[in-house]
Amino acid sequence: MQSLRLRQTSVLPGFGLTLGLSLAYLGLIVLLPLAALILRSAALGPEGFWQAIATPRVIAAFRVSFGMALGAAAVNAVFGLLVAWVLVRYRFPGRKIVDAVVDLPFALPTAVAGIALTTLFAGNGWVGSLLEPLGIRIAFAPAGIMVALIFIGLPFVVRTVEPVLQDIDRGVEEAAATLGADRWQSFRYIIFPAILPSLLTGFALAFARGLGEDGSVIFIAGNMPMISEIVPLLIVIQLEQYDYPGAAAIGTAMLAASFVLLLVINLLQRWARARGD
């Protein structure tokens, strides 16, 4: 009788089989390539691994990649929330078009995005020609990396926060208003705690996407060593020089640093969710 009850409450039929297939697929597609990367870098030994990743050029590339990815994710967290708020709370002409434009970075090839952004922000571009006389240089500078990462990361925040905003009961806000709460208090004490876990999720997705972005960045960054060179491009350069162990070492260091940061963000998500409950 108990086994029958367990069988009836099972979510998926053949749970053992589906679990085994899922783990096998995950191991083949994700874990096996990562294990190969780690093993290839391990061939250098501890001293060789450290020498490969501790050069000033590699450290500068890590600083650029992680700094720009974090900055772009923070900008997208603010403006992505604003875009999601407008799409959920307001009805206006052209709303469907704006909603479709948000997903454009998903469908647009990254190389095309990089060329378009470079054309726009270069010294002779529509925007660059207005900014450079003011001493603001975007294209072929570190600021160009930030612009490219903001462009490709915005949809992750918007699409993560949007369904949570849609599910918030407007009656709770109305009740708070009848009790004397103003709009800022309603947002701070009712809306923001509800959307904080999803906002952190969107931030983490945008950050992770920014770390691995290459196609749109290399066109607008200028790719100057120690200044605007990112880690993915440095790995490609190492491969072109047939330094496969060195490229594997840089990739392994990038993997470890990304994993630690994403783990911290996931812990913050769990804390925010537990606090909200």
Percent share of the chain, pLDDT over 70: 94
- The predicted structure's pLDDT at residue 6: 46
Each residue of 220-247: pLDDT tens digit? 988 898 999 999 999 999 988 888 888 9
Residue 3 pLDDT more than 60?
no
Q: Which CATH superfamily is domain 46-276 in?
A: MetI-like (1.10.3720.10)
Domain boundaries, the chain: 1-42, 46-276
Q: Quick one: pLDDT at residue 13?
A: 59
* Residue listed under structure tokens 């949570």: 164
What is the pLDDT, as a whole number, of residue 10?
Answer: 56
**What angle do the packed helices 45-53 and 244-276 form, to 10 degrees?**
80
Query: For residue range 71-124, what is the model confidence (pLDDT) as tens digits?
Result: 999 999 999 999 999 999 888 898 899 999 999 988 888 889 999 999 999 888
pLDDT at res. 72 = 95
The pTM (predicted TM-score) of the whole model is 0.85
Name the band, by pLDDT with cuts 50, 70 and 90, for residue 14.
Answer: low
Q: Give tens-digit pLDDT for 46-86.
A: 888 898 898 999 999 999 999 999 999 999 999 999 999 99
